[in-house]
């Protein structure tokens, strides 16, 4: 069964009205209401909208010319109108089952997505399939430890280009996608309008529960508030990476114009407005930000904050000199946080062998 939409009816009506007004191709990412408005604009009966929706999201059709329930004449007329699916450019499978995809967009640009399967286990008895999606071609944030940032920035992705990544992985695995993390190339909150539209579509058109969608951001002033105002039950993950402003600025240049106190205050607002706890991502770089004193300083910021710390041991990239801390270092960082009553987990990246782990999404084929 598909999870039901978790948007309240009033917001839903507004969303439907707003989206029905901009019914323009590419069609992928559009709601039933938008598609219905569009088919009517084309002189077709309203029920064709629902059919189109089913063919796009359930059957994965790539060309309007292939929709056999439409009349031959109309199919010929609209054959050139893009649905908005990308082409598979490259695919590689890591021994742990993680699959990395390079997708070629209509203008020739390449983006990367990762499919991460997880089988059973106590915590998640049903098998899960998580997709890590990109939101931009490249990234302008230039974080010092991140491969994407080293390659510069090209453009934002459209909503269809984000939804397409999820459908591509779903079709390849022949399994429903259960979770989506916005942790691929790019900074989602610099592309917040398209990201919000993609989230709406992933939830209502593709059928993924809002709580299973996670947006990861380095933090852009006022944009976390904008996310909260969208009143969705998605998970917010904030790439904090340092317990103080000086260190954070060294790692994340954009932090310069957004002091850590302001960022944390906006995160607190997010918790108040949504009732959802925030995840703080914290990359562990040996000797840089992984000492017990850093853990203690981090704990001081987060005491009483409805949050959770996700530690990410650094994945080495060619362009940077950082080192991944050893297990003992990681364990003592965890222990300090636990002693300070801070909820903490460690994320060991999957897909290292497919160059598909965090920060590695620029490696290999497609590199420019």
Catalytic residues: 112, 358
328 vs 227: CA distance, rounded Å:
37
- Closest contact distance (angstroms) between CB of 160 and ligand SAH is 20
Residues 6+ apart with CB under 8 A from 46: 36, 39, 40
For the CB of residue 235, give the shortest distance to ligand SAH in the complex, in Å. Answer: 12
Q: How far is the CB of 156 from ligand SAH (least distance, A)?
A: 13
Q: Which is nearer to ligand SAH, 70 or 101 (CB)?
A: 101
From the CB of 339, what's the least distance to ligand SAH, in Å?
24
Q: Nearer Cβ to ligand SAH, position 64 or 114?
A: 114
In the bound state with ligand SAH, the residue whose beta carbon lies nearer, of 26 and 359, is 359
Tokens (6 digits) for 248:
């954070």
Two tokens, residue 329: 């270092």
Q: Which residues bind ligand SAH (CB under 6 A)?
A: 143, 145-146, 183, 187, 216-218, 239, 281, 283, 312, 314-315, 317, 358-359
Side-chain-facing half-sphere of 96: CA atoms under 13 Å? 17
Give dist(CA 340, CA 175) in Å, integer: 41
Cβ-based nearer residue to ligand SAH, 65 or 320: 320
Q: Cβ distance 338 to 344 under 8 Å?
A: yes
DSSP string, 279-331: EEEEEE-TTTT-SHHHHHHHHHHHTT-SEEEEEEE----TT----PPPHHHHH
By C-beta, is 177 or 309 nearer to ligand SAH?
A: 309
Dist. CA 360–CA 283, nearest whole Å: 14
Q: What is the nearest approach in angstroms of ligand SAH to the Cβ of residue 48?
A: 38
């Amino acid at each position: 069964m598909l999870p039901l939409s978790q948007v309240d009816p009033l917001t839903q009506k507004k969303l439907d009205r707003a989206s029905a007004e901009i019914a323009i191709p590419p069609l992928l990412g559009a709601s039933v209401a938008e598609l219905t408005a569009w088919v009517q604009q084309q002189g077709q009966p309203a029920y064709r909208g629902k059919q189109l929706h089913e063919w796009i999201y359930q059957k994965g059709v790539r060309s309007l010319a292939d929709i056999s329930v439409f009349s031959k004449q109309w199919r010929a007329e609209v054959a050139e109108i893009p649905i908005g699916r990308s082409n598979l450019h490259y695919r590689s499978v890591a021994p742990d089952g993680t699959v990395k995809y390079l997708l070629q967009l209509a203008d020739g640009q390449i983006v990367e997505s990762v499919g991460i399967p997880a089988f059973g286990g106590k915590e998640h008895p049903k098998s899960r399939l998580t997709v890590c999606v990109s939101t931009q071609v490249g990234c302008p944030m230039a974080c010092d430890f991140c491969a994407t940032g080293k390659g510069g920035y090209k453009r934002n992705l459209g909503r269809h280009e984000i939804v397409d990544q999820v459908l591509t992985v779903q079709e390849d695995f022949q399994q429903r996608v259960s979770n989506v993390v916005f942790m691929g190339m790019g900074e989602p909150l610099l592309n917040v309008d398209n990201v919000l539209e993609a989230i709406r579509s992933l939830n209502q058109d593709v059928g993924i529960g809002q709580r299973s969608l996670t947006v990861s951001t380095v933090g852009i002033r006022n944009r976390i508030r904008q996310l909260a105002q969208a009143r969705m039950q998605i998970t917010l993950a904030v790439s904090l990476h340092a317990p103080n402003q000086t260190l954070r600025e060294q790692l994340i240049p954009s932090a310069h114009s957004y002091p850590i106190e302001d960022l944390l205050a906006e995160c607190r607002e997010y918790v108040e407005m949504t009732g959802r706890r925030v995840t703080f991502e914290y990359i562990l770089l040996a000797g840089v930000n992984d000492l017990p004193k850093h853990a203690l300083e981090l704990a001081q910021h987060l005491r009483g904050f409805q949050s959770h710390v996700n530690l990410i041991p650094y994945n080495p990239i060619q362009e940077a000199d950082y080192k991944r801390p050893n297990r003992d270092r990681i364990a003592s960082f965890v222990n300090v946080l636990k002693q300070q009553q801070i909820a903490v987990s460690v994320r060991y990246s999957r897909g290292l062998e497919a160059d598909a782990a965090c920060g590695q999404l620029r490696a290999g084929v497609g590199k420019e």
